[in-house]
Amino acid sequence: MTSPTEASAKDRVVIFDTTLRDGEQSPGASMTLGEKLQVAELLDEMGVDIIEAGFPIASNGDFEAVLEIGKVIKNSVVCGLSRANPADIDRAAEALAHAERKRIHTFIGTSPLHRQYQLQLDQDQVYDRVISSVTRARNHTDDVEWSAMDATRTEHDFLCRVVEAAIRSGATTINIPDTVGYATPDEFRALIRMVRDNVPNADKVIFSTHCHDDLGLAVANSLAGVDGGARQVECTINGLGERAGNASLEEIVMAIKTRGDVLPYYTNVNATMLMRASKLVSAVSAFPVQYNKAIVGKNAFAHESGIHQDGVLKNAQTYEIMTPESVGVKSTSLVMGKHSGRHAFRDKLRDLGFELGQNALEDAFRRFKDLADRKKHVFDEDIEALVEEEVATASESIHVLALTVIAGTGGPGKAIITLDVDGRHETREATGNGPVDATFNAIKAIIPNKASLSLYQVHAVTEGTDAQAEVSVRLEEDGKSVTARAADPDTLVASAKAYVSGINKLMTRRGKSRPEALKAG
């Protein structure tokens, strides 16, 4: 934990994670219920104070997610979002029924733009809705957060007026969001101070920041807000969120942990779990983390320059302001190759956090040797991708056995694929608009289905022309979606494996055990 032994409560920054609400609103980032539960449980384990689990009125799926998350979270406060109207607030309260610790977060637009164009309400009407919404939420729970949407473009006198009304009506947390990422750090710091200095009983509540990254200032603005007196920061894993995203949780936590000289605060987040959380959110959202992303990017602790390498070898602090271990990253990447034996492979897996049974270990080792024969260097990321795929596909009933693809400028792509379907080997041939389309058509010829492909994404696991390709796909059927991943040095093989994995997931979701489950889809 980052908490000092003798720090006062006023120096603690509450971490409010909205990955499952605002983060999931990123186009293409929707998560299944199971994936949301995975993320929520990890956030709870790592010490996040509040988990905004969803927007219950938005859909039955969001309602169910908040309800189920409330059943399993033991330490964090579970929060549901609502607009300033009775139906939203009551729906949020219903979704939070099973949460041991619950919060209703209600909001309304306060800026002239939002009042005129989005709400068609004047100042007095917005003021009345603040009072009625907070009062109604407070009847459901003692923990109520109120947000002035687009606060940074709201007239100061009106902002103070509605904040005072929210406090008087029972709000315990007041959020001053930079909804459109418009503010600069000096402006945002001054805004928080202005509200706290001018609103009666401001010292009785916690002020919060919620900063978007449209100008790349979300983290800087959030920290400036803390300097101005805010003691809650709303953020997301990997900075996931609408448009350019939100303030990044890992950057907030490590900035406070690393720069205690100018940021004399602390959080309760276990920073050594940051990389694990980053990888999970990236996997379930199918949003890859950019290589140069602060704290959790692949290159965050990598050094290629000879000058940098020389300095780090002599003293890591010459070019590293924090240790890799402090955020859950291994300090070194041992190069594994085709001459490595089982013992070394097993030790490497343990270093990477994997414990496999004997049969799974043998399967993973065989695939590792096959990969090592095809790649010049096998990196930690290659092994992680290989083992994660092995674990993910262990219980699946359909597997890719062989694939041959013909592609070029001379005509349509052609694919011949062999699948293991519940122990039967089936081969089909198909054409398509390119090699990927042909491959997927060949799979459909064996496993007929009506699932649509809403996402197809490829990125390299490591550097080099022999790098493994990691393919993410999202399949949708009857309004439901699943995300699946697979890795292979051959992009088309990885594509086939990912597509087949998605089909397996769809069958599992529908409660079926055989491929015929999708035929009537």
Q: Give the pLDDT score at 337.
A: 62
Q: What letters, b where the CB count within 10 A reaches 16 and e where it falls short, cover 104-123?
A: bbbbbbbbeebbeeebebee
CA distance 199 to 98: 35
- H/E element holding 185? helix 185-198
CA distance 363 to 154: 60
Which of helix, strand or coil describes residue 176?
strand
Q: Count other C-beta atoms under 10 Å from residue 35's C-beta.
A: 20
Q: Which residues contact 464 (CB under 8 A, 6 or more apart)?
A: 375, 376, 377
Which of helix, strand or coil describes residue 274?
helix
Q: Give the pLDDT score at 30.
A: 78
Structure tokens at 302: 């990598």
Beta bridge partners of 474: 455, 483
CA distance 488 to 388: 12
Q: Give the pLDDT score at 8.
A: 67
Phi/psi of residue 320, each to 5°? Answer: -125, 120
pLDDT digits (tens, 9 = 90+) for 387-427: 766 655 555 789 899 999 998 887 889 999 999 998 899 99
Which of helix, strand or coil describes residue 17?
strand
Q: Give the pLDDT score at 302.
A: 63
Q: Give the pLDDT score at 204.
A: 96
Q: Provide the residue type at 371 as one letter.
A: L
Averaged pLDDT in 10-residue chunks for the chain of 521 residues:
52 97 83 92 97 95 95 97 97 97 98 95 97 98 98 98 98 98 98 98 97 97 98 97 95 97 96 94 88 85 52 67 83 54 74 75 83 72 70 72 91 92 92 94 92 88 77 83 83 93 76 47 41
Q: Which residues contact 342 (CB under 8 A, 6 or more apart)?
A: 361, 365
Q: Give the pLDDT score at 395.
A: 59
Q: Give the pLDDT score at 305.
A: 46
- H/E element holding 323? none
Q: Is the pTM of this model over 0.75?
A: no
CB-CB contact of 222 with 235 (8 Å): yes
CA distance 326 to 95: 36
Q: Which residue has the tokens 């969120």?
A: 241
Length of the chain counted residue by residue: 521
Which of helix, strand or coil describes residue 62?
helix
Structure tokens at 188: 């945002």
